[in-house]
Structure formats: structure tokens, C-alpha cells
Amino acid sequence: MGRLANYVLNEFLVNALANSKTFQRFAVKTDDAMRKGNVYKTVSEGATKAKESVERYAEEAREVAEKLAKEATKKPPS
């Protein structure tokens, strides 16, 4: 059953990506960067943006966790 699900998911993803204009642009830009030798720069920029996003979301998650912890320690109304 797992192999069938994997096959179906794989087919779906391949078809979805093959028909995606966004993915096609990404593939062309990546290919162009690789041919020009700019892969490191492109990957580095992407990694930097990803790191910034993760840090921002981690801070937001930390704030939410602190608020939840404060709410959890409050005494319920009598």
C-alpha cells in the first residue's frame, strides 16, 4: 500500500511541477546560474533568506509559547 501511495504522490508531484510556470522559471534560473557558475551565490542568498525567515518565525513562536505559559499558570475564575 505504501508503494502505491508513493507512486501516486510521485506522479502527482511530477505532473504538478511540470505544469507549474513558477517551477519552470525556477528551473530555468537555476540552470542559468549553474551554467554561469553563480550557484553558490544563488544558494547562499536562498539560505540567508530561509535562515532569516526561520529566525523570525522562531521568535514569534517563542512569544506565543510565553503567552500560553502565562495563561496556563493563571488561576481559573472561581
pLDDT per residue as tens digits for the range 12-54: 888 888 888 888 888 888 888 778 776 666 677 778 888 888 8
Residues 7 and 13: their CA atoms lie apart, in Å, by 10
Provide the residue ranges of all domains of the chain, joining segments of one domain with +. 1-37, 40-72
Global confidence as pTM: 0.39
CA atoms within 13 A on the CB side of 62: 6
pLDDT in tens, 18-27: 888 888 888 8
